[in-house]
Chains A and B, each alone.
Chain A
Amino acid sequence: MNRTPDSSPVASHPNSSSPHTFDEKPAAGRAARGLASKPTDLDQYASQPASSLGEDDLKSCCASFYQEDLVAKVLGESYHPGGLRLTRRLGAALDLQPGEKVLDVASGPGTTAFLLARERQVEVEGIDLGQETVAKATDQAVAAGLDGKVHFTVGDAERLPVPDASFDVLICECAFCTFPDKTVAAGEFARVLRPGGRLGITDVVIDPNRLSPELRSLAAYVACIADARPLQAYQTLLESAGFEITQTETHDGALAKMIDMIGARLDLLKMTETPLLANVTSAEITARVTQCRTVVEEGIAGYALLTAVKRDEIRPQTR
């Protein structure tokens, strides 16, 4: 099940027969950006025997496969749960000091990089998969007079194009959940941080085991947006990669708010009678959004902030 979600909004474009007109904006929401390097996952999705999925799951996944593209677009490029407030919270939790070198993985349009450069006087390198996104963010940096302190580079979270031990801090907002190989990505995070360097992540957390049967089919949908894990699973993953967790916080309200935003923007699009949503009724949108909210309200899915320190030496895991 966890593989199917890897179909990305960007990658889905060529296969999507939807007559939408969004091609001029190929960079989808940052939440999905990490996936774009894996177009082959699409094929996996296509070739997966139907028997491996419950019928409902399949249907739901198909629907969401289509919608996911939409959801990413609906959220725009710059949005992540919690908005600027949570970014500031992350900056404070990491105790960013003026002059420190920060790597922002999945930097999107650069909103976070600009904020941290302005308010914390740090130097930020932003990495993002989308070529156009990076070009746009670079233009923005010049326009804002921040090009001396903020740079953007095209790159993949699983093969970060930066030297070993070259950063004081690494941040990754609402993107880790989307990386197909989280172990590799976590290893990359550890590689590029100096010993004692800090890691700050905000991300979707979900506990698939707690989904009730009637919500089980939703798992596929939720997972399609993000291959999210329980907070504990992220912690274990990062610890294995050589990090010591220093702080975790939950911000579930931020996720509920994001779901509201998705719902509101879908409703708005529906009102424009765009052919993009011709196959979905308003009632279906409402029902889906309500389901998603329920999952958050019941604490099954949420949003978390996590900070960690890279241990001086990476101890072998088995001893």
Chain B
Amino acid sequence: MTSAQTGKKSEETPLPSTPLPTKRNEVFLEYTKSICPICKDVLDAETFAQDNQIFLRKRCPEHGEFTARTYGDAEAYFATMRYNKPGTFSRETQTEVKDGCPLDCGLCPEHKQHACLGLIEVNSNCNLDCPVCFADSGTHQPSSFSLTHAQIEKMLDTFVAAEGEPEVVMFSGGEPSIHPHILDFIALAQEKGVKRVVLNTNGIKLAHDKGFARALGELQPAIYLQFDGFDEATHLTLRGRDLRKAKQAALDNCAENNLWVSLTATIEKAVNEHEVGKIIEFGMGHPAARAAIFQPTTHAGRMIGFDPTTRLTNPDIVAYICEQLPAWFRKSDFFPSPCCFPTCRTITYTVGNGKTCIPVPRLIEIDDYLDYITDRVLPDPDDLRGALEDLWSASAIPGTAITDEHISYLEDCAACGITTPAILDDLADQVFMIVIQDFQDPYTLNVRQLMKCCVEHITPDGRLIPFCAYNSVGYREQVREQLTGEPMPSLIPNAGEPAPLLTPTPYGSQTATPATVHLTQARAKKDHTTARNRTNTGKNLR
């Protein structure tokens, strides 16, 4: 306080000790809903900008205030908004609107987008015990499940009923490659008319079982291979084992069997963010790799400790890529995916031969096609917009026929001013995709994004639950309890902050201490009508 502000008055009577109004050092942006990461109650939340970054903040009356960093570049955040494509209705929804988002999954009729990608976790068993696992899977857990052919068929039928001709089904786990019937499941999905089938794997079985690789080669699913980097420390921190040799062998076996691979990296701050450039370079040089997918660690399930206010987001990964490969990339080469909420997924494509790397967005004026807010687009008789929309969506899986067709088409079109398509045909194999996907966790969950999510968990009881709701709100625990018959504790991120409230589960994740649970239950008993959704309930809360 300056003397000018306090003025003469201070000489006469002492001022009450109330400080002068001070300016907030943040810009309030929007009012939305989230959940308490501890008790999972639905809470009012707000997003705000500070230091050119975006944050989400909420306050639980029981467990206090939680702030999480959700987008590392505020300017880019605002720029992404015009890429927000109007959603598409599903053919049918699976639930009714009752308690409001995110408690009615799903999909409920309020959901804003159909499912581009349906995810099926075929088991909870794994051949690894990674320190980081949003699915809380492992080798020797107190309870586990493994789905049957009949269950998978029902799930696929649910998806087909909702989508007609589903774009993508991804088999995951656990570790799906160790499920004895995984090959049947892949074939079944293909028979049901799913356009692109993907196998998510850590690659251990692919590395050691040539017969399995050959069998996959016949079915031709696309492979999402867990691939976090090249440093031993990265492997030990994220996976608990040095898997470098296995990854190389898995990739080589894929190449041998014409399986196209997307290298899928979990990126954790201060662990492997320095390796994103190398992963891209390596991928471009390996004959089987067609994409690199970077996912800032999903802080749900099992994890190493983290700080929600400094966690990595999409623009951070873009910045690392540009820093590490300055000759190849600039920030402007990356565009948001319009089908989900545009801050969730960022994509680019390159044409390259190891020496040259050309980001595809430099070849086309993408803004002329993907601007949905003004929605005034170029007359587009060739439907270049359609090709771009597919390529910039969760359905884009390099190595699948449809995506490759769109890539070739885009190249031809992009190049139509320069040459005949024939010359460029050879280049289709040299296209490399880069995806950055920030999944939400109990800290960052924002219903605004969730309502437009296009990556859905297909559950055995016939629901399609948005991936981030599944991992954050309590659906995973609910489904796992159904499938194993064992009670599952409600999982809480290991964020350091609420440490006194946490205790480890037998699965390696964290849950609330009995005292915390007791508090939450007591409150629920007292006021059961508002216990789950405490939004807009007046004096009871705020």
Q: Which of A4-12, A168-176, A268-276, A300-308 contacts B (4 or more CB under 8 A)?
A: A268-276
In the complex, what distance in Å separates the CA atom of A144 from the CA atom of B378?
12
Contact with A282, one of B355, B367, B418 (Cβ below 8 angstroms):
B355
Contact with B379, one of A114, A260, A282 (Cβ below 8 angstroms):
A114
Assess whether A267 is in contact with B356, with CB atoms less than 8 Å apart: yes
Assess whether A260 is in contact with B362, with CB atoms less than 8 Å apart: yes
Contact with B358, one of A74, A144, A268 (Cβ below 8 angstroms):
A268
Q: Which A positions have Cβ atoms within 8 angstroms of B?
A: 21-22, 29, 73-79, 83-85, 88, 111, 114-115, 118-119, 143-144, 257, 260-261, 263-265, 267-272, 274, 282, 286
Nearest A residue (CB) for B381:
A143
CB 8 Å contact bits of B329-364 with A (1 = contact, 0 = none) = 000100000000000000000010101101100110
Assess whether A264 is in contact with B419, with CB atoms less than 8 Å apart: no
In the complex, what distance in Å separates the CA atom of A286 from the CA atom of B328?
11
In the complex, what distance in Å separates the CA atom of A265 from the CA atom of B351?
11
Chain B residues with CB below 8 A from A74, complex form: 417-418
Chain B residues with CB below 8 A from A260, complex form: 362
Assess whether A261 is in contact with B362, with CB atoms less than 8 Å apart: yes
In the complex, what distance in Å separates the CA atom of A144 from the CA atom of B380?
10
Q: Which B positions have Cβ atoms within 8 angstroms of A?
A: 327, 332, 351, 353, 355-356, 358-359, 362-363, 365, 367-368, 371, 376, 378-379, 381, 415-420, 423-424, 426-427, 430
Chain A residues with CB below 8 A from B379, complex form: 114, 118, 144
Chain A residues with CB below 8 A from B358, complex form: 264, 267-268, 271
Assess whether A85 is in contact with B367, with CB atoms less than 8 Å apart: yes
**Given A268-B363, A274-B423: A79 touches B417 (CB 8 Å cut-off):** yes
A/B interface sample: 16 pairs, CB < 8 A: A21-B420, A78-B417, A88-B376, A111-B378, A143-B381, A261-B363, A263-B362, A264-B358, A268-B358, A268-B363, A270-B356, A271-B351, A271-B353, A271-B358, A272-B419, A282-B356
Contact with B378, one of A21, A84, A263, A271 (Cβ below 8 angstroms):
A84
In the complex, what distance in Å separates the CA atom of A267 from the CA atom of B430?
13
Nearest B residue (CB) for A81:
B365
Chain A residues with CB below 8 A from B362, complex form: 260-261, 263-264
Nearest B residue (CB) for A22:
B419
Chain A residues with CB below 8 A from B419, complex form: 21-22, 269, 272, 274
In the complex, what distance in Å separates the CA atom of A22 from the CA atom of B365?
23
Assess whether A115 is in contact with B356, with CB atoms less than 8 Å apart: no
In the complex, what distance in Å separates the CA atom of A71 from the CA atom of B529?
69
Chain A residues with CB below 8 A from B376, complex form: 84, 88, 119
Instruction: Report the minimum CB–CB distance from B538 to chain A (whole Å).
Output: 46
Instruction: Report the minimum CB–CB distance from B5 to chain A (whole Å).
Output: 42
Chain B residues with CB below 8 A from A77, complex form: 417
Chain A residues with CB below 8 A from B368, complex form: 83-85
Chain B residues with CB below 8 A from A21, complex form: 419-420
Chain A residues with CB below 8 A from B427, complex form: 268, 271-272
In the complex, what distance in Å separates the CA atom of A272 from the CA atom of B411?
12
Instruction: Report the minimum CB–CB distance from B219 to chain A (whole Å).
Output: 32
Assess whether A79 is in contact with B365, with CB atoms less than 8 Å apart: yes
In the complex, what distance in Å separates the CA atom of A286 from the CA atom of B96?
57
- Could you tell me the dominant secondary structure of chain A's interface residues? helix
Instruction: Report the minimum CB–CB distance from B335 to chain A (whole Å).
Output: 13
Assess whether B351 is in contact with A268, with CB atoms less than 8 Å apart: yes
Chain A residues with CB below 8 A from B363, complex form: 261, 264-265, 268
Assess whether B365 is in contact with A265, with CB atoms less than 8 Å apart: no
**Given A114-B379, A274-B423: A265 touches B356 (CB 8 Å cut-off):** no
Chain A residues with CB below 8 A from B365, complex form: 79, 83-84, 261
Assess whether A76 is in contact with B430, with CB atoms less than 8 Å apart: no
Assess whether A272 is in contact with B424, with CB atoms less than 8 Å apart: yes
In the complex, what distance in Å separates the CA atom of A265 from the CA atom of B419?
10
Nearest B residue (CB) for A73:
B418
In the complex, what distance in Å separates the CA atom of A29 from the CA atom of B378?
19
Assess whether B415 is in contact with A265, with CB atoms less than 8 Å apart: yes
Assess whether B378 is in contact with A73, with CB atoms less than 8 Å apart: no
In the complex, what distance in Å separates the CA atom of A21 from the CA atom of B371?
35
Chain A residues with CB below 8 A from B371, complex form: 85
Assess whether B416 is in contact with A83, with CB atoms less than 8 Å apart: no
Assess whether A264 is in contact with B418, with CB atoms less than 8 Å apart: no
Chain A residues with CB below 8 A from B356, complex form: 267, 270-271, 282
Instruction: Report the minimum CB–CB distance from B325 to chain A (whole Å).
Output: 14
In the complex, what distance in Å separates the CA atom of A118 from the CA atom of B376?
10
Chain A residues with CB below 8 A from B355, complex form: 282
Known: A84-B368, A264-B358, A268-B363. 15 other contacts (CB 8 A): A73-B418, A75-B417, A78-B417, A83-B368, A84-B365, A84-B378, A85-B367, A85-B368, A88-B376, A118-B379, A261-B365, A265-B418, A268-B424, A269-B419, A271-B427
In the complex, what distance in Å separates the CA atom of A151 from the CA atom of B471?
58
In the complex, what distance in Å separates the CA atom of A274 from the CA atom of B379?
32
Chain B residues with CB below 8 A from A268, complex form: 351, 358, 363, 415, 418, 424, 427
Assess whether B378 is in contact with A272, with CB atoms less than 8 Å apart: no
What 7 pairs across the A-B complex have the smallest Cβ distances? A76-B417, A264-B362, A83-B365, A272-B423, A84-B368, A260-B362, A267-B358
Instruction: Report the minimum CB–CB distance from A73 to chain B (whole Å).
Output: 6
Nearest A residue (CB) for B374:
A88
Instruction: Report the minimum CB–CB distance from A54 to chain B (whole Å).
Output: 30
Assess whether B426 is in contact with A272, with CB atoms less than 8 Å apart: yes
Chain B residues with CB below 8 A from A75, complex form: 417
Nearest A residue (CB) for B423:
A272
In the complex, what distance in Å separates the CA atom of A168 from the CA atom of B418?
36
In the complex, what distance in Å separates the CA atom of A260 from the CA atom of B328?
12
Instruction: Report the minimum CB–CB distance from B321 to chain A (whole Å).
Output: 17
In the complex, what distance in Å separates the CA atom of A272 from the CA atom of B426?
8
Instruction: Report the minimum CB–CB distance from B262 to chain A (whole Å).
Output: 23
Instruction: Report the minimum CB–CB distance from B421 to chain A (whole Å).
Output: 11
Instruction: Report the minimum CB–CB distance from A285 to chain B (whole Å).
Output: 9
Assess whether B417 is in contact with A269, with CB atoms less than 8 Å apart: no
Assess whether B359 is in contact with A264, with CB atoms less than 8 Å apart: yes
In the complex, what distance in Å separates the CA atom of A265 from the CA atom of B360?
9
In the complex, what distance in Å separates the CA atom of A268 from the CA atom of B332?
19
Chain B residues with CB below 8 A from A83, complex form: 365, 367-368
Instruction: Report the minimum CB–CB distance from B350 to chain A (whole Å).
Output: 10
Chain B residues with CB below 8 A from A119, complex form: 376
Instruction: Report the minimum CB–CB distance from A287 to chain B (whole Å).
Output: 12
Instruction: Report the minimum CB–CB distance from A87 to chain B (whole Å).
Output: 10
Chain B residues with CB below 8 A from A29, complex form: 417
In the complex, what distance in Å separates the CA atom of A96 from the CA atom of B503?
67
Most buried by B among A79, A119, A260: A260
Instruction: Report the minimum CB–CB distance from B368 to chain A (whole Å).
Output: 5
Instruction: Report the minimum CB–CB distance from B453 to chain A (whole Å).
Output: 29
Instruction: Report the minimum CB–CB distance from A119 to chain B (whole Å).
Output: 6
Instruction: Report the minimum CB–CB distance from B395 to chain A (whole Å).
Output: 25
Chain A residues with CB below 8 A from B423, complex form: 272, 274
Nearest B residue (CB) for A256:
B332
In the complex, what distance in Å separates the CA atom of A143 from the CA atom of B353?
39
Assess whether A76 is in contact with B378, with CB atoms less than 8 Å apart: no
